[in-house]
């Protein structure tokens, strides 16, 4: 079954103005419980503790990625380009809409704490016993598996994968614009309309017309700025560390057979890493935050204090270092233990890194990770060969090490700490 809606539906959107829905399948997918759950998961996790506007949800981002994909395809079709496989239109739209379906509450912290991967969960939800799978099967019995293949990036036609996942894809364009809008920062405001007009289907891939190079440079610069100003903001990292510690402590206690006063399903299954798809879908930020609230009254003092810190936003302070080695970390931990601090929980080391754009050397295999420019003679060139700006930001790797610690606890024992350590932590 593949039908258009009798009348187009629209969602008002602060970033794209309107999101247009024309297909019955897309409308039905949006109305499944699995997709509606994304309203209860914030797009930027704990960033709202740094940028108070960042309360937007994965629901709005997913609609945005769908809308950008829809605009790209409709531009391809309007312009009559050859090389766009029309039969894949609905597949690309569904993959765009559903690409983040498997995100959990405070995704990055929970994934690290329990060694999970949201992409795996997305695929499980797509092919599992879910309403999303039921809707997708209305297209054809193997359609859920095809959408999962696009998400896993192993679908047979790279052009479909390119739209949803490549250095210049609908996902990245939406999150840059949306995250900039909701955090209120001045970076990330890319000229999306211009970039979209410059995209071309060519030899089974999405490429950029050479005259769009400056718009792409601007986009990569924005991405670079957003990483350092928003995504890797040290205060946000501090709140993520606290979250990971809460999960770690709760898991430890559960493994020791500790009797929680409050432990709703599916948290025991999460700690044991044995969740069915149905159980996984019960996880949202409301549930996790309710648990934190209840755990402030737990008998375990450490868990209670970590939860209170998170809820009351008493985050760890940090110092920045150019370099740290494991020997130094060991020294710090043993100094902490000697003065009665918790060597495991009162010191965390964080080392964020990101490259805005990975440049591929010419002899490397092309894996869809490069941005290709198309010149008037139909030659393709990788953007960093042409653009000085892209070349120079590609090498930027501004990762500095951060040490996080509860400042007031260190203040309390500062006279017992070796002086150089007290100085390092500014107490």
Of 180 and 359, which has the nearer Cβ to Ni ion? Answer: 180
What sign for the dihedral angle of Cα 119, 124, 127, 131?
A: negative
CB of 171 to Ni ion, least distance (A): 4
Integer Cα distance of 346 and 336 in angstroms: 8
Of 172 and 233, which has the nearer Cβ to Ni ion? Answer: 172
Of 171 and 298, which has the nearer Cβ to Ni ion? Answer: 171
Integer Cα distance of 41 and 55 in angstroms: 9
Q: Is residue 12 helix, strand or coil?
A: strand
User: Between helices 285-295 and 234-255, what is the axis angle to 10°?
Assistant: 70
CB of 162 to Ni ion, least distance (A): 15
Integer Cα distance of 153 and 231 in angstroms: 24
Q: Is residue 373 helix, strand or coil?
A: strand
CB of 64 to Ni ion, least distance (A): 9
CB of 288 to Ni ion, least distance (A): 20
Spatial CB neighbours of 90, under 8 Å, sequence gap ≥ 6: 2, 23, 25, 139
Integer Cα distance of 81 and 76 in angstroms: 6
DSSP secondary structure letter of residue 21: E
CB of 38 to Ni ion, least distance (A): 10
Q: Quote the tokens at residue 126.
A: 């797509």
Of 101 and 213, which has the nearer Cβ to Ni ion? Answer: 101
Of 179 and 217, which has the nearer Cβ to Ni ion? Answer: 179
Of 175 and 187, which has the nearer Cβ to Ni ion? Answer: 175
Relative to beta strand 199-202, strand 372-374 is unpaired
The contact set with Ni ion (CB under 5 A) reads 100, 171
CB of 65 to Ni ion, least distance (A): 6
């Amino acid at each position: 079954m593949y039908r258009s809606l009798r009348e187009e539906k629209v969602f008002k959107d602060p970033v794209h103005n309107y999101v247009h829905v024309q297909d019955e399948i897309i409308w039905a997918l949006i109305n499944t419980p699995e997709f509606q759950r994304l309203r209860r998961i914030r797009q930027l996790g704990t960033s709202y503790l740094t940028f108070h506007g960042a309360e937007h949800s994965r629901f709005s981002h997913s609609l945005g990625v769908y809308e950008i994909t829809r605009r790209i395809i409709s531009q391809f079709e309007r312009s009559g380009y050859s090389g766009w496989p029309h039969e894949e239109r609905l597949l690309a739209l569904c993959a765009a809409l559903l690409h983040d379906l498997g995100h959990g509450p405070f995704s990055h912290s929970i994934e690290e704490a329990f060694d999970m991967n949201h992409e795996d969960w997305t695929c499980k939800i797509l092919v599992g016993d879910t309403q999303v799978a039921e809707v997708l099967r209305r297209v054809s019995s193997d359609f859920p598996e095809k959408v999962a293949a696009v998400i896993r990036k192993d679908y047979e036609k790279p052009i479909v994968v390119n739209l949803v996942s490549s250095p210049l894809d609908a996902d990245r364009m939406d999150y840059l614009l949306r995250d900039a809008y909701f955090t209120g920062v001045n970076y990330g405001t890319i000229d999306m309309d211009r970039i979209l007009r410059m995209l071309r289907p060519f030899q089974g891939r999405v490429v950029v017309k050479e005259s769009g190079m400056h718009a792409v440079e601007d986009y990569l610069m924005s991405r670079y700025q957003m990483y350092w100003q928003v995504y890797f903001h040290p205060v946000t990292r501090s709140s993520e560390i606290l979250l990971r510690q809460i999960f770690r402590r709760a898991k430890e206690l559960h493994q020791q057979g500790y009797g929680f006063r409050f432990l709703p399903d599916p948290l025991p299954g999460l700690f044991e890493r044995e969740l069915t798809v149905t159980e996984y879908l019960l996880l949202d930020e409301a549930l996790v935050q309710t648990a934190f609230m209840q755990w402030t009254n737990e008998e375990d003092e450490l868990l209670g204090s970590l939860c209170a810190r998170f809820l009351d936003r008493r985050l760890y302070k940090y110092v920045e270092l150019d370099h740290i080695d494991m020997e130094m970390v060991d020294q710090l931990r043993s100094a902490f233990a000697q003065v009665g601090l918790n060597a495991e929980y009162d010191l965390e080391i964080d080392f964020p890194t990101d490259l805005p754009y990975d440049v591929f050397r010419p002899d490397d295999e092309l894996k869809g990770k490069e941005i290709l420019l198309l010149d008037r003679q139909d030659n393709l060139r990788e953007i960093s060969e042409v653009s000085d700006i892209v070349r120079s930001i590609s090498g930027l790797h501004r990762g500095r090490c951060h040490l996080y610690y509860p400042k007031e606890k260190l203040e309390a024992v500062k006279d017992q700490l070796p002086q150089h350590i007290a100085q390092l932590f500014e107490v």
